[in-house]
Structure formats: structure tokens, C-alpha cells
Amino acid sequence: MIETKGKPNWCPGCGNYGIWESLKGAIKELKLKSENIVITSGIGCSSKISHWIRTYALNGLHGRALPLAEGIKLANPKLTVITCGGDGDGYAEGGNHFIHFCRSNINVKYFVHDNQIYGLTKGQPSPTSDEGFITKTTPYGTIEKAINPILLAIASGATFVARGYAGDINHLKNLMKQAIKHKGAAIIDILQPCVSFNNKNTYKWYQERIYKLEKSSDSRIEAMKIAEQWGKKIPIGIIYQSNEPTYEERIPAINNKTKPANSIKSLIDELK
């Protein structure tokens, strides 16, 4: 059973509910056992998702959920390791980790609940807030450009890059299933309305713009052209996917090509 006794306390109508349902559905349909899954998360409304799914979980420091996941995966590569968190957590505090996660191709799944605002701290602009976005701390509009996480992930070497939408639970669930089955680092940037603090990127705003991609591309250049689309048309689906060796496969000790040293003494003896 994947349900917990406790229920989420997100604001009524928050997009996090759709993501929660999609993730539970993906785990159920893939018949993954709770005891073989670890969800790591950072700080933010979205990071609390790990409290309300019955798996192992590690709620870490702000922006540090990915290195936690990578350590867990290397310690026990048989586990399904998933990281959840928000756009602020992942692309600001954890921005450096995000780039290196993409280029590592470690077999961890990263689901970013992208609401284009800091919700838990009551509405400051995040790295994905559109330029000119008005908040309490930017009354004249943000003056910085928004980062494009899809472009950044493709340029950084990720092998599975997708965009989902919290308002389409079935579509998102299927994306998550494909991300979990993918061999290597998988990123889904999930458009997640924050009904309390983001009055621009609402369900209506997304529904007027999103369209579903029919197939993914294995050309980084072609995928980058799709990733550039934002504003009048916003694509959802798998944007880029390729098949490359994972980080774990390239570590001889994990790959059983060499035996790990049993002790410091045996390591020193080997080096003599």
C-alpha cells in the first residue's frame, strides 16, 4: 500500500495534489515495492510530498536533495531513487547540483514541482518566474530573465528530459512511469499552479497554452528548438531521450569489474 495515514495539508486546489496522485499511480502501476523506493526532498511545499507516500524518505536541507539521492543510489544501486522538490529548491539553492546531476547520468529520477514562485515563504520570485512577474518583493516586476530548465538539462547532458502538467494526472503519471523505467538521470519539470501566490500561471493560463508532444527527439539540437517554446505554446511530454551508459555502470566496483578493498590494509597491500 502506497497511501499513508496522514493526508497532505497543501492549500485546496494546489497543483501538488495532482503530482501526488500521479506519483502514487506510477508506483502502483509499475508494481514497485515501497521498501525498495527512497524519495529524497529538500525544502518547500512540494518537498513535503515525501511525507505522504509510503516509501523510505529523506527530507534534507534546502537545495540538497539531489546529492542525497545520488549517495543513496551509489550505496545501493538496486533501489528506485526519486527526488522531488520545487523550482526554487532545485534551480536556485540546488542549481549547481542540478547541472552536475544532468551530466552524471546517474540512475535517479528528479521530479521538479515548478510553480514559478516560492510558495512556502509566501510568494517571492523563483528562477523560473517570467521576466516582469509581480510579487510582494518585486512590485515593479522581476528584472531578471527566467531560466529554462528544459534547455539547461539538455545542454548539461541529461538523457531523459520531459515536461509535465499537474492538471493532467494521467499524462503525468505515464511520464513518471517512463522516467522511472529510463536507464539514467531523468528529469520532469512539472508545471504546477500555486493557487495562493501565483495569480499569473493559473490552471486556465496553462490550459490555453499547453499541447502534447507525440514523440520525443534523440537530437539535442531538435529538442532544444522544442524546449525554446514558451509563452503562446507550451509543449508537454518527453522532449529529449537517449540511451547512454549510466554513472553506476562506469564505476568498476559497482559493475563488479574490480573487487572493492576489504580494508585500508588490503588496499595498501594492493598498491605496494
Angle, helices 169-181/16-29, rounded to nearest 10 degrees: 50
Three-state DSSP at 163 gives strand
- Residue 108 to residue 18: CA distance in whole angstroms: 21
Q: For 237-258, what is the HEC assignment?
A: EEEEECCCCCCHHHCCCCCCCC
The minimum distance between CB 243 and ligand SF4, in angstroms, equals 35
Of 67 and 167, which CB lies nearer to ligand SF4 in the complex structure? 167
Of 124 and 138, which CB lies nearer to ligand SF4 in the complex structure? 124
Stretch that binds ligand SF4, among 27-35, 51-59, 142-150, 192-200 (CB under 6 A): 192-200
Q: Does 115 bind ligand SF4 (CB under 6 A)?
A: yes
Interface residue with ligand SF4, options 74, 99, 147, 195 (CB under 6 A)? 195
Stretch that binds ligand SF4, among 114-122, 152-160, 217-225, 227-235 (CB under 6 A): 114-122
Of 44 and 235, which CB lies nearer to ligand SF4 in the complex structure? 44
First to last CA, the chain: 53
The minimum distance between CB 115 and ligand SF4, in angstroms, equals 5
The minimum distance between CB 11 and ligand SF4, in angstroms, equals 3
Element (H, E) at 191: strand 186-191
Closest listed residue to residue 161, CA positions, set 171, 176, 150, 174: 150
Interface residue with ligand SF4, options 60, 119, 125, 149 (CB under 6 A)? 119
Q: Which three cell numbers stand for residue 116?
A: 514559478
Q: Does 50 bind ligand SF4 (CB under 6 A)?
A: no
Of 106 and 146, which CB lies nearer to ligand SF4 in the complex structure? 146
DSSP string, 87-123: HHIIIIITHHHHHHHHHHT-S-EEEEEE-SEETTTT-
Interface residues with ligand SF4 (CB under 6 A) are: 10-11, 14, 16, 45, 115, 119-120, 194-197
